[in-house]
Structure 1
Amino acid sequence: MTTNTTTPAVSVSKLVKHYGDMTALDYFDLDVRQGEIFGLLGPNGSGKTTAINCILALLAYEAGAIRVFGEPMTPTSYALKRRIGLVPQNVAVFNELTVEENIDYFCSLYVPKKAERAPLVEQAIDFAELREFRKYRPGKLSGGLLRRLNIACGIAHRPDLIFFDEPTVAVDPQSRNAILEGIRRLNRDGATIIYTSHYMEEVEEICDRILIMDHGRHLALGTADELKNMIDTGERITIETLDLDDDTLTAVRALGFVTDAAWDGRELDVTCRRGEHNLVDLIGVLRAGGVSIGHLTSRPPTLNDVFLELTGTALRD
């Protein structure tokens, strides 16, 4: 979702943050457009959480500037903070309160008047599909319902900017789909979303643009397709074959675009660099070797391939 508003929802410029001798943010830059779902990816220790906490004015930093909706963000920017929602990775609710009471409490931190708050609480209950569980305490909820309660508590005050930190960790597929659709709905209703996840398929599915960071630095930014076009990694080709001989496997590995080739006696798995004729050239080598070809698949590079090439590591828990 895009808007005509040119003022970024979040603008971070040359941000520097140290913990002792460790550099957590190294002149980090970030710009999030109003109305988009923005993915923030990085391995553990990359600086994601530090960056978010600095944006929320929960951490002091040594250098740089942060603006939210065009205004400087400081610990006393209460008007700005009322426009922000946070859904943390760890479920943060009170076990002594019911679903309804939890949502009402967190909403009251932003909307003190009960009369104004009551319809917002009802909307949040309906949004998270928790109406039949409104009198339950958290201890009686499943993991997926707990996640939905966590989201309802973070968005009940109708924020314009919402941070989602790993919102689908350890939930079943049905709850995961409900959460992702809920995030899309919030975005369609006008909220700007900043989304972090270890699940690459989620990021690719819902994010308009994605920033990859590591060691406190901005590494790459773009749509999923734009990021894939930045790397040398091409498609991964899998071919069923039972009669591949050593000479033909050596010939496959000698192809200039092949970075890796392995055969387990049933399938040949080939990883390629980017190229226009990789599949044709590979099949040509196999046919020249008299190899019988069965089922064939060609998978384009994924966000995980991008991440691996740019950071040297897979996105890990």
Structure 2
Amino acid sequence: MGAVDVRRSGPGPVRLGICCATIAACVPYLALKVMWLSGSSAGAATAAGAAELLDARHLVGDVITGLMELAAIALVLALTFPWGRRLPRVLALGPVWAATGLLAPIALGLPVGLVAQVVLGGSPAPADNGLQGWVYAVVYGGFVAQAVGLLAAFVGYARDRWPVVFRIRVPELAPRRPGPLVTPAAVVVLGYAAMLLAWSVSGARWGGPAGFDTAGQKSFLLAQGLLVAGGAVAVLSLVRRRGSGRVLPRVAVAWAGTGVAVTSGPTHIALSNNGAVSALFAAVSLAGAVCGVVLLVAGASAVASPASDGAAAR
């Protein structure tokens, strides 16, 4: 997808600014994790909330999410500096794809949820959550900033490394026969999307994930459902070579949608209180994750073209 130039001495001022801003957005969340791991109960609103912050389950979660935040910092550095373009494409694309799956629903759903909460009244934070409101503002505001920063950094990185993706059109894609699992997988993923949309209205009723009670929280499920549905449709469009437009918009939607399909269910299960998830949610979300992997592979194979095959290993 075009030769990779690693001879440049460093990033320009715009890319460097994006990198610094993204790292800065990671710092508050990372600082909270360090404080909680050190025994601090900063941000707790009640004695019960302070005790919960220091229990074993939360401390393990703090270690994992803290390491994820450090990985985000390493990722934006790789997307910014020339040495990152020497990484194998799996190491470059895999973390960005996973980060998209985790952050895109927050970046898209949070603004909608805040507007809805203003209209409906009340707080966007759940009642009796044990944390002060500023914790949510710091954490989720940081996530939105990280999403924007990583996206901007990745666009610049991809333009340098795989420029053909930004100009190739659907008819130029190499003809490939869709695998027999693509359509059934898309049907399952669309079913998962439909359930997420239903749960964005019902919350924990109808077997949805627990703890999604406010409009601000339910907008997150709404964004997940829309992204998952869009991803399934985009992959089918790529696989079946529908239309004659540019490939990039479909690739972007397929990228985000499959990322959400694969990461959302396991993340909901991991973050649930004491594993309190319904059998329906566990079955539907895990089926969506497995079939999301099928769609990811199908979409990646569909994008391969004579122009890109020669650069795929770069």
TM-score by length of 2: 0.26
Larger radius of gyration: 1
Bigger proportion of residues as strand: 1
Higher relative contact order (CA 8 A, sep 6+): 2
Bigger proportion of residues as helix: 2
TM-score by length of 1: 0.26
